[in-house]
Amino acid sequence: MKHLPFLSSAAATLTHDIEVLDERGRASTIAIPAERPLTVYVDKRELVTLMTLGGAPEALVLGYLRNQRLVKDISEIRSVQVDWSVDAVAVTTVKGIADIEERTARKVVTTGCGQGSVFGGLMDEVDRIVLSPHARLRQSVLYSIVNTIRLQQSIYKQAGSVHGCALFSSSGELIYFVEDVGRHNAVDAISGLMWLDGIDGDDKVFYTTGRLTSEMVIKGAQMGIPFLLSRSGTTEMGHMVAQQLGMSLLTRCTGKHFLLLTGKERMVFEPELLELAAHAH
């Protein structure tokens, strides 16, 4: 049985109530998303400060270390302890992280929100990633996923100003749904949950409300996920990396509309749905 780290359970309150006045001078109370800094210490060495809702801080930190390629296996981590009284998390590894100073020295500023940089070596490892060539996504399952997200109870519906990410099975079953102030935090938290639960991404579908930048595409690929869906769009580099990896990138996914940009061979179009779509126009 694989060793799992000892984790705190420090989920924070996700919203904060404030008093506002509307255009008619009327007072009311609204909820806004919480946002708090979480400084990550690895073996007592300060690594990074993440701005987060704090809903799944332990999973966020695990996923961050995984997606930054600083830790290859979850068994290398002894414990993850979050302490909101000092806005910090102490990560203890089993044997330390080799060459951590060198590996974290070079940063690439990204278009991300809530994180905004990746350690430079990330970009160098894209060529080594191989996604499952057998994964397929049916058109009807895509529609089911989009509808599940539409119906999902969320902080966004209550308070706005956050991004949501979700992991689905190839049959459309919702496995995880995570929201945070930045989509990169949300994807890292899902990566951490997959690690903890021993779930691989070979036939999984990843959904995000945010745009698919190169960093998002690379993170999805590192999780082994062949399908990335977005309610928004992509960037030129995001498209280029997805094409290079053979990943299926789907954007503008709302209702029965979507744009399939790359990995077109993975999509299974269904005649009856194509016919309905034709009549709708």
Q: Hey, where are the domains in the chain? A: 6-126, 137-280
Residue entry with tokens 């709708």: 280
Q: According to the model, what pLDDT value does residue 113 have? A: 47
List of residues 6+ apart from 102 with CB closer than 8 A: none
- pTM for the whole thing? 0.85
The pLDDT tens digits for 3-43 are: 899 999 999 988 888 888 877 878 889 888 888 899 999 99
Highest mean pLDDT among 17-21, 96-100, 163-167, 210-214: 163-167
Nearest to 36 by CA among 66, 11, 62, 59: 11
Q: According to the model, what pLDDT value does residue 106 have? A: 55
Q: What are phi and psi of 158, to 5 degrees?
A: -80, -40
Nearest to 192 by CA among 96, 55, 49: 55
Percent of the chain clearing pLDDT 70 (strictly above): 88
The pLDDT tens digits for 132-153 are: 999 999 999 999 999 999 888 7
Cα(147)–Cα(118) distance, integer angstroms:
32
Average of per-residue pLDDT across 244-270 = 92
Cα separation values, 222 from 97, 128, 203, 279, Å: 19, 10, 14, 39
Q: Which of 86-95, 103-112, 194-203 has the lowest mean pLDDT?
A: 103-112
Quick one: fold of 6-126? Ubiquitin-like (UB roll) (3.10.20)
Quick one: fold of 137-280? Cytidine Deaminase; domain 2 (3.40.140)
Banded model confidence at residue 111, pLDDT cuts 50, 70, 90: very low
